[in-house]
Amino acid sequence: MVNLGVLVSGSGSNLQAIIDNIEAGRVDARIKIIISNLADVYALERAKKHGLPFMVVRHKEYKTREDFDQKLVEILKAHEVELVILAGFMRIVTPVLLRAFPMRVMNIHPALLPAFPGTHVWQAEVDYGVKFAGCTVHFVDEGTDTGPIIIQAVVPVYDDDTAEALSARILRQEHKVYSQAIQLYAEGRLEVQGRRVLAKGIPMFPDSFMINPPAGIFER
């Protein structure tokens, strides 16, 4: 069983997926505290609905990012949090948080890192014309979206995709892989070796391929 602290800033659909998977017994974790840096976000409605403890810590009330993070650390430690989950959290974390939770902060990014770091990734992916996209759960390090990758999911991109259609397709996979990453952690299966994260005892994806658009000429 791992104690989670979940940091949110918005809709909280990833938070909801983690809550649902905990309640369904698929993830051996308990959410000890949910912290939002903004007051009226739907993620807090989700916390209320499930009777989970939550707090609002307004980043604007702190002079520096470091002071804000120090407050987060105090709250997380006070709630005996072992693993910090960034779930749609829109603040860059500083070494203050990372030093308090070394290789114990996870984030989900809606792209196949290291491609498309940063924000507005869906439009960038559509505009670039990629044929596959996806999402990445990684441990957070001092860079932006650069930490060791734990798990990734891939989805096809269609010629008529809008950013909204693509983000919805990716989000469905986010809601699976984040809980999978937390469960691998809870089972003690994640071994970090430099940039790589090995999932001990878990068979890797079988040797296969995907081609988009489909290689029809080989089937005709």
Which residues are designated catalytic? 109
**What does R_g of the chain's alpha carbons equal in angstroms?**
18
If 0-12 CB within 10 Å is exposed, 13-18 middle and 19+ buried, where does residue 20 land? Answer: middle
Which is closer to ligand GRF, CB of 88 or CB of 147?
Answer: 88
Which is closer to ligand GRF, CB of 108 or CB of 181?
Answer: 108
Q: Which residues, 100 to 119, sit near ligand GRF by CB under 6 A?
A: 108-110
Q: Strand locations in the chain, DSSP E? A: 2-8, 29-36, 54-56, 83-86, 105-109, 132-139, 149-156, 190-193, 196-199
Smallest distance, ligand GRF to C-beta of residue 12, A: 5
Q: Which residues, 66 to 105, sit near ligand GRF by CB under 6 A?
A: 87-88
If 0-12 CB within 10 Å is exposed, 13-18 middle and 19+ buried, where does residue 46 land? Answer: buried
Which is closer to ligand GRF, CB of 32 or CB of 109?
Answer: 109
The residue to which tokens 């996806």 are assigned? 134
9-17, 92-100, 194-202, 204-212 -> range binding ligand GRF (CB under 6 A): 9-17
Residue 12 in contact with ligand GRF, rule: CB under 6 A: yes
129: left (phi over 0), alpha (psi -120 to 50) or beta: left
Smallest distance, ligand GRF to C-beta of residue 193, A: 26
Binder among 69, 125, 145, 174 for ligand GRF (CB under 6 A): 174
Smallest distance, ligand GRF to C-beta of residue 140, A: 12
Site string for ligand GRF, 16-55 (x = CB under 6 A): ----------------------------------------
Beta bridge partners of 154: 134
Which is closer to ligand GRF, CB of 45 or CB of 187?
Answer: 45
What per-residue string of b and e applies to 157-175 under the rule 16 or more CB within 10 Å gives b? beeebeeeebbebbbebbb
Longest dimension (CA), the chain: 65
Could you list the residues that contact ligand GRF (CB under 6 A)? Answer: 10-15, 87-88, 108-110, 171, 174
